[in-house]
Amino acid sequence: MDALEKRLIICILLTIPIIILWVIESPIENQSILFLSSIIYFYGGYPLFKGSIKELKDKTIELMSLATITVTIAYIYSVITIIEGEMTIIPLELAIIINIILFGRWLETSLTKNITEPIRKPIKSIPSKAHLIKNGKIKKIPTQTIKPGDLILVKKGETIPADGIIIKGSTIIQPITRKPIKKNTGETVTATSINIKSPIAIEVTRVGGKSFISQIIKLLTRKEKTQRQKSADKIASILIIITITVAIITFIYWKKMPLALEHALSVLIVASPHTIRLAAPITILISAIILAKNGIIIKNKNSYENAPKIDAIAFNKTGTITSGEFKVTDIISIDDEMEEGDIINYAAAIESKSQHPIAKGIREVAKDPLPVKKTDPIPGKGITGYVGDSKVQVINYKHLNDLGFQIEKPEILEMMNQGKTVAFVVINDELKGCIGLSDTIKSGARKAIRILKDRGIKCIMLTGENKRVAERVAEEIGLDDYHAELTAEEKSEKIKKMQEEGLKVAMISHADDTPALKQADIGIAIATDPNINIENADIILTKNNPLDVLSILELATATHNKIRENLAWALIYNTITIPLATGILYTQGININPPTGAALMILSTIILILNSKTLQNT
């Protein structure tokens, strides 16, 4: 039982005697009701007072402030009338109002917890004990004592207790945001994933609040206001001013006590600016959790407002449209003194720490990779570094031309004509050879492009690949346009040009395309490892599925429509209930008293939350 639930039960138990005393007209009725209502006011009203203080600190007046004003006025009036020997229904209404508000807060909290439970639940599955490998021996230790650098054994069927890198073994794991996936030595695994095939030894990299799943939860539950929410807040603030003004006018109009006070209190308590403020954030939270469960992480909540407006999507090629699982098909040496094995070993050394798909393909075939001193990426062009005293560059065709090299060897030209990706190896400013790699169109890419085009969205490819490769891919999947041999900055310029033509553009690429992701109206980054801290990314894809972009657009549109429904409900509710609370139809027997007003106010919020939850059926 949580604190709010306990407080609610105690207040209900204290309210029962007030009702009994009101009915039986006891000689000690006044003193007893004053005593009990005082306890309910101070004890039951504490969450309201605490909430209103926070609102004042935030320089806002919201639900808690209006509720506090209402119950405080009611309590002061009750004290005065009881001391003067009079008895009105106000003390009983005060107790009922506080009970209703506490119940509403408890129910709202429970519903919100229920919404976030799917993403929080996996953390509870982390075992309390872990198998620590130390000095060749295995020892069980409390999971909370694990620290980065520890070696942990994860047996078949166990939940991985921390983020880490596999240092021994291979297996199949079940992450919470993806389908089962094969993992080999050197690859990353994340806490809460289930090891479903073979034992593995991992070196811990992140624990506790720094783990991938913990970062996702923090990201989803953090407070970030979209432009629409900021507009809704302004409307709610205006409503509060109107409500207080109407309550004062109502009090003056009715004059006679306690009727005037009852109507004024009804106005204050029935108003629900909270529904207006809650219309967007609760819907966005539900939508973000739906996407997170499917491996799509929303970093910038304004993406929900921008996504339905997208006119064009710019795709990077490698790992976005194509599988990104490069296989080396050719190794050509141009230097008679260097063998093909030397070419691949030098390249693998420079690519040893890169997460680019081409780098992975090169590393897979290197038998004796050399130790590397230092590496630096050349954005959109390749990578450079030192192996011993030798400067080594692994670069694309365009950068090779920029350096003044000409390709005349027939075998290399034939590879390029076949549409293969060619990585050139330059050592100490001399071209030594090249590596040919093949890539395949990703399953789902053609379908995604076809559906997007049917919806009137222009599909363009921006790639650093050579024109022959880009042309082959563009024709094969039916793109509207393509631009090849681009650097990251040039991709950004292409997006800017499209925006100047009036298009709203989304960019889907990897983290190394930071300028393009930043320039786009929505930057969608593909995570090559468990990382949500990709600079300038609004959305992160952990599954790398082309169809995910359709899921984003569809759910963003559904979220947009659901927010509009919620706002419409909030405005209709307040437009109807506030005038009724003034007593405008009191002579016709239609009236909203303070307890009824409190119940309606809570009900309006619950209806909004339940309506938002229907998004889960989308």
CA dist 138 → 150, 154, 201 (Å): 12, 11, 11
Q: How far apart are CA 552 and CA 571, in angstroms?
A: 28
* In contact, 65 and 52? CB cutoff 8 Å: yes
Q: At what angle do helices 227-254 and 259-270 cross, to 10 degrees?
A: 170
Helix/strand/coil (H/E/C) assignment for every residue in 409-472: CHHHHHHHHCCCEEEEEEECCEEEEEEEEECCECCCHHHHHHHHHHCCCEEEEECCCCHHHHHH
Which residue ranges in the chain fall short of pLDDT 50? none
Max CA separation in the chain (angstroms) = 113
**Residue ranges of domains in the chain:** 3-120+219-282+560-617, 129-160+163-206, 291-322+441-557, 327-438
* Ordered DSSP codes for 365-417: H-SSPPP-SEEEEETTTEEEEEETTEEEEEE-HHHHHHTT-----HHHHHHHH
Is domain 129-160+163-206 annotated with CATH 2.70.150.10? yes
The angle formed by the CA atoms of residues 457, 459 and 462, to the nearest 5 degrees, is 145
Q: How far apart are CA 123 and CA 111, in angstroms?
A: 20
Q: How far apart are CA 318 and CA 513, in angstroms?
A: 12
Residue 529: its pLDDT value, please?
A: 62
Architecture of the domain delimited by 291-322+441-557: 3-Layer(aba) Sandwich (3.40)
Pairing outcome for strands 200-206 and 151-154: antiparallel
CA dist 262 → 6, 129, 258, 507 (Å): 29, 59, 6, 57
Per 3-state DSSP, what percentage of the chain is helix, strand, and coil (rounded to 5)? 55, 20, 30
Q: Render pLDDT for 30-54 as a digit per residue (tens, 0 to 9).
A: 778 888 889 999 999 898 898 889 8
Q: At what angle do helices 281-293 and 212-221 cross, to 10 degrees?
A: 160
> Domain 327-438 sits in which CATH superfamily?
Calcium-transporting ATPase, cytoplasmic domain N (3.40.1110.10)
- The 3-state DSSP class for residue 189 equals strand
Q: Render pLDDT for 55-111 as a digit per residue (tens, 0 to 9).
A: 888 777 777 888 888 888 888 888 887 777 776 777 888 888 888 888 888 887 887
Residue 62: its pLDDT value, please?
A: 73
Q: Render pLDDT for 372-417 as a digit per residue (tens, 0 to 9).
A: 888 888 877 889 999 888 999 999 888 888 898 888 888 888 888 8
CA dist 580 → 240, 242, 258, 273, 276 (Å): 17, 15, 18, 16, 19
Partners of 425 in beta bridges: 394, 433
Partners of 260 in beta bridges: none
Helix (H) / strand (E) element for 174: namely strand 171-174
What's the token pair of residue 571? 């405005």
Burial 353-384 (b: 16+ CB within 10 A, else e): ebbbbbbbbbbebbeebbebeebeeebbbbbb
Residue 566: its pLDDT value, please?
A: 92
* In contact, 82 and 33? CB cutoff 8 Å: yes
Pairing outcome for strands 539-541 and 522-526: parallel
Residue 95: its pLDDT value, please?
A: 87
Q: Render pLDDT for 565-596 as a digit per residue (tens, 0 to 9).
A: 999 999 999 999 999 999 888 888 888 888 88
Residue 356 DSSP code: S
Residue 426: its pLDDT value, please?
A: 94
Q: How far apart are CA 388 and CA 92, in angstroms?
A: 86
Residue 512: its pLDDT value, please?
A: 74
What's the token pair of residue 462? 């921006």
